[in-house]
């Protein structure tokens, strides 16, 4: 366990109570499961994925500076991390490559969920092994949560991570022309933001986070149950509430909702900011969009499945490659996050050409 990353404030006890149920669903918790390091992003799992070499050296253990990547870390050194930027202790990632990989290899970048207020990169460890078995490198990253810095900080961070990895592709044996972003829930949203803004200048390209001028574009995106148009969340649930929800769904318009905390203001009070946070906003001005794999459960009681539907329709209208799967009977859970992963990986194989 590290003590270097701050505990995110969730804007008071009232907000903490309001988001608890949503965070639990978005981080994959059930009533019988123990909470992951939701309020301590530095905590890592105790086991690294099999058949892999962690190739990012932990500056905190080696005494290096942010961005230091000297040496190779053993598989059981599970707190391996490298700083992709230096504005926050949250801006760290882990990086794996198959032991027998022949460089350069494609890279899949995993972005964790947690309703923007919780979670850490260890949540993605369970998805790493199949990626390595396919012959790809994998990265999982942390980013500033809303308690540390509201929008657009998280989007700026994940794009800075892509730039860092591309700028250091030769060093790590990565193919800079074959990157993909993958996420679930809030992580799916952030992966989608990477995808739709990658080839255009936006406020999300913060030069102070490093590697200015390096592309943050990716060639593929996997979005599993992610939100898109925040302004429509409550209206969509009001229009169609899945029977499995028994009439109980979150309200996102209130000031203490995870989305309002992410935006830094009550959602409906800042429509322009919400529009700027919508990945669909950037589709029309993108010169080239990556291939998208989108999946969502039709019984999702945390994020309306229409959020994925409107993203898919906007991508197709713009001529982009997009596949949308509405998973019958699935909620906001591993039936989508894990169940759709093999299909998503097959799509990325076609994108990467191997």
Please report whether residue 256 resides in a domain.
no
CA distance 166 to 219: 12
Other CB atoms within a 10 A radius of the CB of residue 313 amount to 14
What's the CA angle centered on 309, arms 308 and 312, to 5 degrees? 85
Please report whether residue 106 resides in a domain.
yes
Please name the residues in contact with 113: beta carbons below 8 A apart, sequence gap of 6 or more: 26, 27, 119, 123, 183, 184, 185, 186, 187, 188
Instruction: Supply the CATH number for residue 137's domain.
Output: 3.40.50.1820
CA distance 287 to 28: 36
- Peptide linkage before 104 cis (omega within 30 of 0): yes
User: Number of structural domains, the chain?
Assistant: 1
Structural domain range at position 202: 13-227+281-352
Please report whether residue 29 resides in a domain.
yes
Please report whether residue 87 resides in a domain.
yes
Tens of pLDDT, residue by residue over 3-54, are: 222 323 323 333 333 344 455 455 543 222 233 333 222 222 223 333 445 5
Q: Which residue(s) pair with 52 in the sheet?
A: 98
CA distance 273 to 265: 9
Tens of pLDDT, residue by residue over 304-336, are: 999 999 999 999 999 999 999 999 999 999 999
Please report whether residue 234 resides in a domain.
no
- The answer to whether the beta carbons of residues 141 and 183 sit under 8 Å apart is no
Question: pLDDT tens digits for the chain (354 residues)?
Answer: 332 223 233 233 333 333 444 554 555 432 222 333 332 222 222 233 334 455 543 333 222 333 333 323 334 323 378 999 999 999 999 999 988 888 899 999 999 999 999 999 999 999 999 999 999 999 999 999 999 999 999 999 999 999 999 999 999 999 999 999 999 999 999 999 999 999 999 999 999 999 999 999 999 999 999 999 999 999 999 999 999 999 999 999 999 999 999 999 999 999 999 999 999 999 999 999 999 999 999 999 999 999 999 999 999 999 999 999 999 999 999 999 999 999 999 999 999 997
Please report whether residue 287 resides in a domain.
yes
Please report whether residue 44 resides in a domain.
yes
Residue identified by tokens 């499961």 is 33
**pTM of full prediction above 0.85:** no
Question: DSSP assignment, residue 65?
Answer: P
Please report whether residue 249 resides in a domain.
no
């Amino acid at each position: 366990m590290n003590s270097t990353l701050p505990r995110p404030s969730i804007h008071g006890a009232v907000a903490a109570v309001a988001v608890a149920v949503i965070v639990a669903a978005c981080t994959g918790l059930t009533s019988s499961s123990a909470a992951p390091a939701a309020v301590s992003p530095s905590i890592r799992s105790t086991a690294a994925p099999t058949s892999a070499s962690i190739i990012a050296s932990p500056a905190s253990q080696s005494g290096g500076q942010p961005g230091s990547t000297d040496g190779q870390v053993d598989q059981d050194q599970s707190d391996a991390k490298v700083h992709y930027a230096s504005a926050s202790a949250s801006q760290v990632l882990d990086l794996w490559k198959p032991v027998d990989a022949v460089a350069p290899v494609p890279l899949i970048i995993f972005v964790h969920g947690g309703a923007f207020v919780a979670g850490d990169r260890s949540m993605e460890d369970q998805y790493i092994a199949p990626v390595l078995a396919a012959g790809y490198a994998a990265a999982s990253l942390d980013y500033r949560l809303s308690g540390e810095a509201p929008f657009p900080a998280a989007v700026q961070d994940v794009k800075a991570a892509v730039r860092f990895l591309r700028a250091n592709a030769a060093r790590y044996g990565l193919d800079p022309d074959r990157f993909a972003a993958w996420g679930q829930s809030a992580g799916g949203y952030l992966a989608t933001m990477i995808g739709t803004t990658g080839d255009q200048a936006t406020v999300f390209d913060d030069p102070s986070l490093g590697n200015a001028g390096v592309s943050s574009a990716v060639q593929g995106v996997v979005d599993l149950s992610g939100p898109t148009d925040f302004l429509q969340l409550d209206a969509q649930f009001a229009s169609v509430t899945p029977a499995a929800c028994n009439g109980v769904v979150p309200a996102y318009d209130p000031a203490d909702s995870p989305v309002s905390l992410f935006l830094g203001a009550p959602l409906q009070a800042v429509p322009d900011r919400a529009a700027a946070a919508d990945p669909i906003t950037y589709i029309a001005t993108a010169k080239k969009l990556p291939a998208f794999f989108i999946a969502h459960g039709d019984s999702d009681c945390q994020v309306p499945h229409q959020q994925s539907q409107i993203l898919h329709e906007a991508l197709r209208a713009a001529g982009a490659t997009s596949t949308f799967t509405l998973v019958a009977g699935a909620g906001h859970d591993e039936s989508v996050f894990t169940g759709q992963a093999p299909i998503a990986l097959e799509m990325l194989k076609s994108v990467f050409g191997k």
